[in-house]
Chain A
Amino acid sequence: AQSVTQLDSHVSVSEGTPVLLRCNYSSSYSPSLFWYVQHPNKGLQLLLKYTSAATLVKGINGFEAEFKKSETSFHLTKPSAHMSDAAEYFCVVSLSYNTDKLIFGTGTRLQVFP
Chain B
Amino acid sequence: EAGVTQFPSHSVIEKGQTVTLRCDPISGHDNLYWYRRVMGKEIKFLLHFVKESKQDESGMPNNRFLAERTGGTYSTLKVQPAELEDSGVYFCASSQTSGGASNTQYFGPGTRLTVL
Interface set of A (CB-CB < 8 Å, partner B):
32, 36, 41-46, 49, 51-53, 90, 94, 96-107
Is A51 a contact partner of B59 (Cβ separation < 8 A)? no
Which residues of B in the span 61-82 have a Cβ within 8 Å of any Cβ on A?
A: none
- Neighbouring A residues of B103 by C-beta, 8 Å: 32, 94, 96, 100
Tell whether A44 pairs with B91 under 8 Å between CB atoms, given A32-B101, A98-B99, A104-B44. Answer: yes
Question: Could you list 16 A-B pairs, sorted by A, with CB under 8 Å?
Answer: A36-B107, A42-B109, A43-B91, A43-B110, A44-B91, A45-B107, A46-B104, A52-B101, A90-B43, A96-B103, A97-B99, A99-B99, A100-B56, A100-B99, A102-B45, A106-B41
Chain B residue at minimum C-beta to C-beta distance from A43: B109
Most chain A Cβ neighbours within 10 Å, of B35, B101, B109: B101
Give chain B nearest CB distance to A27 CB in angstroms: 14
Tell whether A100 pairs with B104 under 8 Å between CB atoms, given A42-B109, A106-B42. Answer: no
Which residues of B in the span 14-62 have a Cβ within 8 Å of any Cβ on A?
A: 31, 33, 35, 41-45, 48, 55-56, 58-59
Interface set of B (CB-CB < 8 Å, partner A):
3-4, 31, 33, 35, 41-45, 48, 55-56, 58-59, 91, 93, 95, 98-110
- Main SS at interface, chain A: loop
Is A100 a contact partner of B43 (Cβ separation < 8 A)? no
Tell whether A100 pairs with B106 under 8 Å between CB atoms, given A44-B91, A105-B42, A106-B41. Answer: no
Give chain B nearest CB distance to A30 CB in angstroms: 10
- Determine the distance from Cα of A97 to Cα of B107 in the docked complex, in whole angstroms: 21
Known interface pairs A32-B101, A106-B41; 12 further A-B residue pairs with C-beta atoms within 8 A, sorted by A's residue number:
A44-B107, A51-B101, A51-B102, A96-B99, A96-B103, A98-B99, A100-B33, A100-B95, A102-B105, A104-B43, A104-B44, A106-B42
Is A43 a contact partner of B31 (Cβ separation < 8 A)? no
- Determine the distance from Cα of A103 to Cα of B59 in the docked complex, in whole angstroms: 11
Is A102 a contact partner of B99 (Cβ separation < 8 A)? no
Chain A residue at minimum C-beta to C-beta distance from B110: A43
- Neighbouring A residues of B99 by C-beta, 8 Å: 96-100
